[in-house]
Structure 1
Amino acid sequence: MSDTAGTEPVTELDARFSSDGATPTGWIQARDQLENAEIYWLSTVRPDGRPHVTPLLSVWLDGALYFCTGSEERKAKNLARNPYCVLTTGRNALGEGLDLVVEGEATKVSDHARLQLVADMYESKYGSDWHFDVRDGAFHGEGSKALVYEVVPVVVFGFGKGDEFSQTRWRF
């Protein structure tokens, strides 16, 4: 899979938040986790400035995360007003794993070919319960319509945990 810019991102270790002797986490490891994670948390901003956070499913494709939501759901309404968002994933444990924070701008996807590819990836990753038909610039499944969003990372933070703690930043 390619990354967001077609080249490797700039990788930096923040020694202030890392164990002595820690090394930056490699982008390939972070990207693999973005591809293989099952649950992601989306953070958006409500019209009155309060945060909104919700779990969702996502797929990584060609250097971006894709997710879907109904047009009347809070996250879609928030993104219509302010497309900047954060997607996180990781392991809910202190002694192991890698937590990732992806910052970017959510862009609505309407291209039929791209939507079909994302729909196929959803079903491949999550199973037949997540089958979507693509028409009219959206996903359709079991009587509902879902908008699809693409988030191309601008910056990703990785928090390595376990015997060695590290904070890595990848800039695109």
Structure 2
Amino acid sequence: MEPRSTELDPRYSAPRAGALPWAGARERLAAAEVFWLSTVRPDGRPHVTPLIAVWSGEALHFCTGPDERKARNLERNREVVLTTGSGRLDEGLDLVLEGEAVRVTDEPRLRELAAAWREKYGQDWRFEVRDGAFVGDGGPALVFAVAPRTVFGFAKGDPFGQTRWRF
């Protein structure tokens, strides 16, 4: 999927910065190992937690136990933000992906995703698929796909810049 628009925000960009191509941002989303997931608690307060995720089929996928806070939050509000980046001020690219978390229950698709988790994160992240969920040592895990609605890219260093991709 390609963005319908790509824009550089001059307010947050060096004069010689240019909008970044989506292909590079998508590659970084696929390669990143740690993400921060933001959800909304029932009382409206934010909840943020680190997790791992896999880019597949033009969406970012994560999993969570059905009794975890993030799963309970998603029952009421499926709007999420996933962020990743270098953790450095003067280099790298930070990415902020906004979208709706949609539960994945199709078992052939879940088997594909389980293989992607194992390939990216190794044998410690091995899942079986049963009853529309991942099943591992910690019990069942619900799987969610987040297709990007909007992604912000914050290029750091020289030149710095903010690119927005809309889908």
Number of equivalent positions: 167
Matched, 1:140 2:140: no
Deviation at 1:143, TM superposition (A): 4.6
The corresponding residue for 1:114 is 109
Provide the rounded CA distance (Å) in 2 between the counterparts of 1:143 and 1:11.
41
CA-based RMSD: 0.8
Identity over aligned residues, as a percent? 59
Deviations 1:109-140 (Å, cap 9, x if unpaired)? 10001101110000000000000000100000
Q: What CA deviation, in whole Å up to 9, does each residue of 1:22-55 have, x standing for no partner?
A: 1011111100000000000000000000000000
Cα drift, residue 61 of structure 1: 0.5
Unaligned runs of 5+ in 1: none
Residue 69 (structure 1) aligns with: 64
Structure 2 counterpart of 1:31, from 21, 26, 34 = 26
Secondary structure in 2 matching 1:92: coil
Ranges of 4+ aligned residues in structure 1 off by more than 2 Å:
none
1:137 and 1:62 mapped to 2: Cα distance?
A: 18
Q: Is 1:51 the counterpart of 2:46 in the alignment?
A: yes
Q: CA shift at 1:10, angstroms?
A: 1.4
Distance in 2 of aligned mates of 1:142 and 1:75: 19
| TM-score, reference length from structure 2 | 0.98
Change (3 A) 1:13 1:143: closer
> TM-score, length-normalised on structure 1?
0.95
Structure 2 residue runs of 5 or longer lacking an equivalent are none
